[in-house]
Amino acid sequence: MLYTNKIFFLEKATSKDEKLIAHTIRELFDAMVHHKLDQLLSLFSDDANIYSSPVYGFVSKDQYAKHIQIYWTQIIALRYLDLMFSIAGDDATVSGFSCYEYKNGASRTWRREIKLRKNQDKWLIIESGLYPL
């Protein structure tokens, strides 16, 4: 089966913080596509709220670690679309869309919103939300 995993648009980063945020988003995408659980979890703050599709709600980082491993068995392709970011001091938001294709032939596009907080010279995800269109 052909996998089409791609970030179709990520706003061009110009400032140092924008480049760090873009790097975090690329790391998130890479961890999701290649099922790198440790890398994925390292991008989230310890008290992050993360949307989990299996429960249709937000869960803790520990709960998400269990859910995503099950979810990975169902997804065959992932695309991020039209990602734009805004920064306000030590807080940032990346918003756009995520499209998932599943083994059963279904696909679903969600509005994605990722909230980040600057922690020294690194941006950590404090909330990752998916919202139905």
User: What CATH number should be reported for the domain holding residue 120?
Assistant: 3.10.450.50
Which sign does the torsion angle of CA 55, 57, 60, 65 carry?
positive
Q: Which pLDDT belongs to residue 2?
A: 39
Domain assignment of residue 80, yes or no: yes
DSSP string, 71-85: HHTTEEEEEEEEEEE
Q: Which pLDDT belongs to residue 121?
A: 86
| Interatomic CA distance for residues 15 and 72, integer angstroms | 34
Predicted structure pTM score: 0.91
Split into its structural domains, the chain has a count of 1
Rounded to the nearest 5°, which phi and psi values hold at 15?
A: -85, 165
Structural domain including 103 reads: 6-132
Question: Which residue do the tokens 């980082």 mark?
Answer: 61
Q: Which pLDDT belongs to residue 10?
A: 76
Q: Which pLDDT belongs to residue 3?
A: 52
At residue 101's C-alpha, the angle toward residues 32 and 39, to 5°, is 5
Return the closest-CA partner of residue 86 out of 121, 123, 132, 50. 123
| Interatomic CA distance for residues 16 and 132, integer angstroms | 32
Domain assignment of residue 1, yes or no: no
Q: 52-106 pLDDT, tens per residue?
A: 988 889 999 999 999 999 989 999 999 999 999 899 999 999 999 999 999 999 9
